[in-house]
Amino acid sequence: MSKRVVRRPLSVGLPLALLATVCAAGTATGAPDRHERPEPAARVTGSAVLPDIPLAGFSNGLLPGTVADDRGVMLGGTGSDLYPAGRKGEFWTVTDRGPNGQIKIDGKKRRTFPVPGFDPAIVRIRVEGKHIRVLRSIALTTRSGAAVTGLPNQRGRDEAPYTYDAKAPLSYDPNGLDTEGIVRAADGTFWLVDEYGPSLVHVSARGRVLTRYVPRGLGLTGADYPVVEALPGVLLNRRINRGFEGLALLPDGDLVMAVQSPLSLPDQDAGESSRNVRLLRFSTKKRAVTAEYAYRFDPVDVVDPGEDDTSELKISSVVAVGRDGLLVEERTDRAARLHRVTLPRGSGILGSAWDDPATSPSYEELSDPSAKGVPTLRKSLVVDLGRITGVPGKIEGVAVTGPDTLALINDNDFGMTDGAEAFDANGRLIDSGIDTSVTLLKLPRPLHG
């Protein structure tokens, strides 16, 4: 026989103070009060897709003869960053180093470049309904007008490049750039960040590399453009393929660069298990780094529920908000969250012991940087993109388009996947089917609120 449940008025036997608490929060089981309004959520208001554009036609249209065979690859990778171009719905984007993948040979992974002649490019796009229209493309060139290419720079520091099937080695190229972030200055020139150096690259309005700023001690020689060692030498300890990824332009003309992942200090294992990453402020007037900020990731399973590998955490975008504010994107390949931080005055950890690779424990090894006196940036969550229906994975570019609106762009990796099965028996790409898309987002409240 089931026991009869006698329901009593909520107030019976409860002290007045406790009653007030329960009534404010809802029922004792945690159910919301029926008069309580749900928290507003961000929502997708539009999405546009880049059409299929053969990569050879795109590249040779900018620099004739650069690509002899695109192996069926379409233009992609333009989702490395997104910067407003001044007109509604128009943006500057930049490709990364081009199609690349990994294939195991004798148990070791080799980095492949199926289209080694590809030249990274700046691309101006317009969102027109559900389609992305390419308005203008600018090839990145050396002082002599040649392609910079996307090939690695230095033997022993960068991954060795191979052909599409990983069977034949390719040459290194000291001019090569793995471009990621982009902003456009008031004078019409562009600033880009690169993963190889990592480096900050100043580019003319026509795409010619004016200066490449690299870490002290890099020793890059043979480039056909000026190379200046002006960045902290500690950056030489960046993880492979995890150099600079995000770039923001502040109202005063300063730049903020984000290292994608923690440095490998004192070794790779420490870097891959760390949640401590670095942002740097660069004065375009002084041509020097003036501040270095300590930033700490959220736990990986907070950013991406179900993920347990801390090394998957990355910063892919930083965007200026107001005079001294930033949006910082923490992501994995499947999920992302945007936080807001306020940049403090002063130089932060620049030039401190934390910039010395010999410091032990390293900044990257600290489980609680504040306990060691490290002033980490305070952050507040703006939006969890992983919880919004319609937002694709691998968001690498974020642009502020209004007081409460954003545009997002994903990196489709040129339709590439890893493994020998990425190409058919004729050496033609088997496309992943992932499109480059721009997603428009409405936030529940203004960014400046």
Give a three-class secondary structure readout of 390-414. CCCCCEEEEEEEECCEEEEEECCHH
Residues 96, 411: contact at Cβ < 8 Å? yes
For a pLDDT cut of 70, what percent of the chain falls above it?
A: 91
Whether 12 shows a pLDDT value over 70: the answer reads no
Give one DSSP letter per residue of 61-74, joined into a string: HHSTTS-S--TTPB
pTM: 0.90
Long-range contacts of residues 357-361, Cβ cutoff 8 Å, at least 24 apart: 357/234, 357/237, 357/265, 357/266, 360/266
E strand or H helix that includes residue 301: helix 300-303
Q: What is the CATH number of domain 48-442?
A: 2.115.10
pLDDT above 80: residue 305: yes
Note the Cα 240 to chain centre separation in Å: 15
| pLDDT (mean) for 417-436 | 96
From residue 256, alpha-carbon distances to 56, 101, 280, 327, 406 in Å are 34, 29, 6, 11, 19
- What are the sequence ranges of the domains in the chain? 48-442
Query: Tens of pLDDT along 119-177?
Result: 999 999 999 999 999 999 999 999 999 999 999 999 999 999 999 999 999 999 999 99
pLDDT of residue 199: 98
pLDDT digits (tens, 9 = 90+) for 315-345: 999 999 999 999 999 999 999 999 999 999 9
Contact by Cβ (8 Å): 441, 391: yes
Q: What is the largest CA-CA distance in the chain?
A: 92
* 35 has a pLDDT exceeding 70: no
* Of residues 428, 400, 427, 433, the one with CA closest to residue 415: 433
Mean per-residue pLDDT of the chain:
92
Average pLDDT (406-426) is: 96
Mean pLDDT of 33-62: 85
User: What would the pLDDT profile of 213-272 be if each residue is shown by its tens digit?
Assistant: 999 999 999 999 999 999 999 999 999 999 999 999 999 999 999 999 999 999 999 999
Distance CA(442)–CA(164), nearest Å, equals 41
Confidence of residue 449 (pLDDT cuts 50, 70, 90): low
What mean pLDDT do residues 290-299 have? 98
pLDDT at position 5 over 70: no
pLDDT at 75 over 50: yes
CA gap 94, 112 in Å, rounded: 21
DSSP 241-289: TBSEEEEEE-TTS-EEEEESS---SS-HHHHHH--EEEEEEEETTTTEE
Give 356's pLDDT tier (boundaries 50, 70, 90).
very high
125/96 Cα distance (integer angstroms): 16
User: Which strands sit side by side in the sheet containing 336-342, from one edge to the other?
Assistant: 314-321, 325-331, 336-342, 379-384
Element (H, E) at 19: helix 16-25
**Which amino acid belongs to residue 251?**
P
Q: Which residue has the tokens 């290194």?
A: 172
CA distance 32 to 192: 48
pLDDT of residue 39: 60
SS3 of residue 22 by DSSP: helix
Omega prior to 38 cis, within 30 of 0: no
What integer pLDDT is reported at residue 448 of this predicted model? 78
pLDDT beyond 50 at 25: no
pLDDT (average), residues 63-81: 96
- What is the arithmetic mean of pLDDT over 371-392? 96
Looking at residue 291, its pLDDT comes to 98
DSSP 3-state of 355: helix
Q: What percent of the chain has pLDDT over 90?
A: 90
Dihedral sign computed on CA atoms, order 426, 429, 432, 433: negative
